[in-house]
Structure 1
Amino acid sequence: MLEDKKDRGDNKMLIEAVHIAVPTAFFEDESLNIQGTISHIRDLYEQGVKSVLVSGTTGEQHSLNLQEKMELINSLELEEDLTNNIEIIFGIASIRQKEAEALAEKIRHTKIAGVMLGYPPYIIPSQEEALAYTKRIIQHSNKPTILYNNPRRTGFDLSEKSIIQLSEIDVVIGIKDAGNKEKLERIKKRMDRNDFYFYAGGEVDIEEKVSYGYNRLSSIAGNISPIEIRNWFQKIMMKQKVSEQESEKIKIIMEQIYQGNAIVNLKKIINHNGIPMGICRSPMGNA
């Protein structure tokens, strides 16, 4: 059974409207480079970033095995200035529920601020199976949770009914990539809470998404221009005018990241800036 709110006094909401979905660093032999990953997070922190997503959305999560994810968590826990001063969100998803539960249990006893809970690729669970999977992982992590719906990559689409049902769990604070305008509007109409957040995955079409209800950002481009992206998103949210100069700067940033494979482009830029982000695990980056 999920714990009552009164039993979770040390848990808090995720307060930042923008988090940076950071890539994972690898050495040339494709082994995990934990210190390279942390170096990038630290660089973002020193630039003023207040929230990051690790092992989450950049397309590399499912290449990491359970042991690698555990090692990454252990190393993050040693970085007390980071865990004490920024929101670190950790991605949980696995084709095996048992492994996702083990990772969630590990996170439960850390200072990690929250989790992004994704769905297993390829196997396409039923809605009932996905609900059971979600609830079990939440039981183990007991952390503020963002659901991650990504049917284009996983083949599974969390239904409106399932999203609304899961939103009734207090620690579920939002969902990333809930769906298109019509689906989002129907969800919001039926949902019985106003503190539930809708995260856009990346900056593409963000103005349109905000216009029909997305109100937080899981940023990709923020890995190279965090302050510019955050300020731009804030202006969009507040319906403030974005100057021509700002728009041109954002256009250049977007072209750098989104022309081609975004994660490959990101790593090239971060490496060029002197942080050892390394390569992608093949087949990513083969071209």
Structure 2
Amino acid sequence: MSRSNPLFYGSITAIITPMDNHGEVDFNTLKELVEYHVASGTNAIVSVGTTGESATLSIDENIKTILKTVEFADGRIPVIAGAGANATSEAITMTKLLNDSGVAGCLSVVPYYNKPTQEGMYQHFKAIAECTDLPQILYNVPGRTGSDMKPETVARLAKISNIVGIKEATGDVSRVQQIKSLAGEDFIFLSGDDATGLESIKLGGQGVISVTNNIAAADMAKMCELALAGKFDEAEVINQKLIGLHKSLFVESNPIPVKWAAYKLGLIPEPVLRLPLTTLSLNLQPKVIDALKMAGLL
């Protein structure tokens, strides 16, 4: 399997999971969101990642939402499944359920809360990769998991043929070259941090798995396209327009602000989240409004 997978590059949305007023997944709105991304030039969709509230969806809901996203995409845009868990057995169960689903690959997070060692992380991802032929993208987000997967561990995992890349969400752009030099130039590096996404592409990354993309999809797609073509000055103009969003969409835990912003833009009918997440605090709403105006979206 070639790691220079043409499906995993550019502007990839970590898509929100729309919900109705009863907290149930709103599949009609999900279909509309998929259409929005197809029309906007988004390069791929991550279904039920962190931004998709995977932590509060049951396994059945996770799988159904992924399958519906694949159905709605209808081959027009690749869908990457969020399939991580902090129990290796659960991550394997999720991954096996997706084997013949039509997903392009799986995104699997470093186990959270139980804080494994580097060896534990290696054994966890190795076991998942061995249960499937699907391409696997590692996901390192220490701010949420409490553990940081080191570049040396990524390099060990890169030797497993279907582990093709990483979503690196430390915001540390030095990780691009550290991982590339250890894991190989063809190992896919995707930024998981919107604020440093452009910089990571400049340094050799292939794209961004983005929260901002949920509400500024066309601009994110164009910015990544320009950056990957080496047109960094033009890409920077777009990035400066979006920089307020890159920051304000994290004034409370993701996806609280982005769901509220999507609601304000009419992309979803209600900014409903599942507990323990609650709607964006009143005092923070003006910050998101200002960023939406700065981005030319309001």
TM superposition score category, shorter chain reference: 0.7 to 0.9
Q: 268-277 or 53-62: which moved more?
A: 268-277
Aligned partner of 2:150 in structure 1 is 159
Structure 2 residue runs of 5 or longer lacking an equivalent are 282-298
The whole-number CA distance in structure 1 between the counterparts of 2:142 and 2:65 is 27
1:166-177 equivalences under 5 Å are 166-177=157-168
Residue of structure 2 equivalent to 1:69 = 62
TM-score (structure 2 length as normaliser):
0.81
| Counterpart residue identity of residue 266, structure 1 | V
Aligned length: 275
- Kept in 2, the 8 Å contact 1:106–1:141? The answer is no
Identify which of 68, 76, 79 aligns with 1:85: 76
Relative to 1, partners in 2 of residues 1:200 and 1:137: Cα closer, same or farther, differing over 3 Å?
A: same
The answer to whether residue 54 in structure 2 is matched with residue 37 in structure 1 is no
TM-score, reference length from structure 1:
0.83
SS where residue 165 of structure 2 aligns?
Answer: strand
Alignment partner, residue 207 of structure 2: 216
Cross-structure match for 1:275: 268
1-structure distance, mates of 2:134, 2:26: 26
CA offset digits 1:18-37 (Å, max 9, x no partner): 21110112222323333332
Contact 1:178 / 1:198 at 8 angstroms: preserved in 2?
A: no
Q: Does 1:149 align with 2:140?
A: yes
Indicate conservation of the 8 Å contact 1:83/1:111, yes or no.
no
2: CA distance between counterparts of 1:280 and 1:32? 10
Give the counterpart of 2:51 among 52, 58, 68: 58
Partner AA of 1:269 in structure 2: A
Q: How high is the sequence identity, in percent, across the aligned residues?
A: 22
Change (3 A) 1:162 1:222: same
Contact map agreement 2:223 2:236 (CA 8 A) in 1: no
| Other-structure match for 2:108 | 117
Deviation of 1:124 (Å):
0.8
Aligned partner (choices 125, 135, 138) of residue 126 of structure 2:
135
Query: Structure 1 residues 141, 60: closer, same or farther in 2, change over 3 A?
Result: same
Unpaired runs of at least 5, structure 1: 7-11
- Measure how far apart 1:52 and its partner are: 0.6
Quick one: structure 1 residues 213 and 57, their matched pair in 2 at CA, closer, same or farther if it must change by over 3 Å?
A: farther
Question: 2:225 is matched with which residue: 207, 225, 234?
Answer: 234
Residue range with higher mean Cα deviation, 32-41 or 195-204: 32-41
